[in-house]
Amino acid sequence: MTNELEKNGHELFAKLIGEKDALAIHETLKKYDPDFAKFLNEQLFGSIWTRPGLEITIRSFITMASLIALGRFNQLRLHMKAALNLGISEAQLKEMIFHLSQYCGVPAAVEATNAFREVTQEKR
């Protein structure tokens, strides 16, 4: 039986990256560790991302900024795709990277531009 957090997590993650990719990532994580997959789905996406108080696009920007600051560029690519799916524009992503170059450093911003270029070329 599906609980509310599981349902909310799946719906939110599918909204971010699409149903097919959300299922594929969840299945991959389940093969690694079912408890970890369940934890991420229920707690990260079903609880944290669905909390009231911040719009989903704001949460998306916060996540991308954190990933840039931490140098997690593989995850950044996934979240840039999600941001575009949410209606965040390419111009807004570029401006975010430009802004973060002053707080996270130029090398991080350059890596973020590489991720941006890959993600936007895939969309075309």
Q: What is the pLDDT of residues 2-50, one digit of tens each?
A: 699 999 999 999 999 999 999 999 999 999 999 999 999 999 999 999 9
Q: Is the pTM of this model over 0.85?
A: yes
Token representation of residue 86: 């949410």
Is pLDDT at 64 greater than 60 in this prediction? yes
Is pLDDT at 73 greater than 50 in this prediction? yes
DSSP 54: S
Is pLDDT at 123 greater than 90 in this prediction? no
Q: Nearest 10 degrees: CA dihedral of 100, 104, 110, 114? A: -70
Q: What is the pLDDT of residue 110?
A: 98
Is pLDDT at 122 greater than 90 in this prediction? no
CA distances from 105 to 70, 81, 92 (A): 11, 23, 19
What mean pLDDT is reported for the chain? Answer: 95
Is pLDDT at 1 greater than 60 in this prediction? no
Residue 42 in 3-state DSSP? helix
How large is the angle between the packed helices 4-17 and 19-32, nearest 10 degrees?
Answer: 120
